[in-house]
Amino acid sequence: MQTEFETSDVEHHDDIIYPDTIPFVLAHLACFGILWTGVTTGTLLLCVALYFGRMFVVTAGYHRYFSHRSFKTSRVGQFVLAALAQTSAQRGVVWWAAKHRAHHKYSDTPQDPHSPVHRGFFFSHVGWIFAPKASKADYSRVPDLTQYPELMWLDRHKYLPAVLLGTGAFLLAGWTGLFVGFFASTVLLWHGSFFVNSLAHVVGRQRYVTGDDSRNNWWLALITLGEGWHNNHHHYQSSTRQGFYWWEIDITYYLLKLLSVFGIVWDLQTPPEAVISGEQRLRRVVVEKVAHDLAWSFPIERISEQLREAWSHTPSLEDLRVRAKEARAYAEALLADVVLPQVPSLEECKERAREMFVHTPSLDDIASRAQEIILHSLSARLLGEPLELAGSS
């Protein structure tokens, strides 16, 4: 069965559905209503409370619970958490979780729904939400959520909780409550959340090898209540706690820990010590992604042309040309034994890996796999096959 990003769906399109952007634009324009109503101390406090209160339910609910199932709660608690999260006006809870799981599976590859690496900062920040091919969710990724009819009802009525909250802000404090308390806090909340998709893959430090561009950013962690420790999170996704060290402030985790004292949530997951120290070997899928990055850091196209130039002058390469017609696997084996300065050796791959990546016990695995990809690509190129078929990611 075709997934939402396979084949034609990975093609680049600029087909932003403008009617769908209207509510988004209107919410931003509504903030200018503050010039008419002014700002009171009470509505400013309401704005701050609604920003941080909803940031908590977005990070704890949408992200750590529904997307990653990193802790447990009751069925009633689950529904309440989902309803509160949807007051953020970030679509339905099931849609959100499905999109986020797709992001982790394809992180910073062309299939990632919102990667700044492939589509640019603006698209990863907000543009993808309104592009039909990027925003389409595959609900088969979330069978643990679709089994609950109450969650599916909430998902279908995705903006109802936000409308109720906006109405409540108006009834509480009038027009200034609506514009300052609700609209301003909602727009700030959107962009604070969206920075995790965009900025957290561009600015910050990478402590762990994760096969993508996820980064840790301390100030982003402050405004998102802990989500800025994004490289930590991509390193060990099932952890409720995303600030791995005591100095990495993770307010969402602290609040969930407090709720666990009262039995509202339980079984909060934390990373093993080997994960925190970076001594646990990488998963095979991560090794594969990183090895492709390493392999394609070498000029494979230029190396293949140099090998072609040497073809008529090197007996081993002439032998390769003849035997390559029989089997590509044998051609790769012969290439591995060819002593030419153009072909990166295993030691050169290891040295390049040390320069490109932080420490990991899987470095030798990455280098070995990268050399395999290089040899596979070179043999395919010499056989006249397109280079893209030879292991490019």
CB atoms within 10 A of CB 70: 23
CA 192 to chain centre: 15
The residue type found at 158 is K
**Which stretch, 23-27, 171-175, 289-293, 315-319, has highest mean pLDDT?**
171-175
Over the stretch 184-194, which tens digit does the pLDDT of each residue have?
Answer: 999 999 999 99
Over the stretch 105-126, which tens digit does the pLDDT of each residue have?
Answer: 999 888 888 899 888 999 999 9
DSSP class of 227: T
Residue 218 is predicted with a pLDDT of 96
Burial 357-366 (b: 16+ CB within 10 A, else e): beebebbebb
pLDDT band at 204 (very low <50, low <70, confident <90, very high): very high
Contact 187, 45 (CB under 8 A): no
d(CA 67, CA 389): 33
Residue 74 is predicted with a pLDDT of 97
Residue 282 is predicted with a pLDDT of 82
d(CA 272, CA 283): 15
61-78 mean pLDDT? 97
Q: Which two tokens stand for residue 111?
A: 């299939």
Residue 301 is predicted with a pLDDT of 76
d(CA 83, CA 68): 18
86-95 mean pLDDT? 96
Residue 283 is predicted with a pLDDT of 81
SS3 205: strand
d(CA 126, CA 216): 21
Phi, psi values for residue 235, rounded to 5° = -70, -40
pLDDT band at 3 (very low <50, low <70, confident <90, very high): very low
Over the stretch 207-216, which tens digit does the pLDDT of each residue have?
Answer: 999 989 999 9
CB atoms within 10 A of CB 345: 13
Asked whether the predicted pLDDT for residue 261 surpasses 50, the reply is yes
d(CA 101, CA 325): 43
The residue type found at 120 is G
Query: How many residues can be counted in the chain?
Result: 393
Percentage of the chain lying above the pLDDT 90 cut: 56
Residue 337 is predicted with a pLDDT of 57
Over the stretch 5-51, which tens digit does the pLDDT of each residue have?
Answer: 433 344 444 555 556 678 888 999 999 999 999 999 999 999 999 99
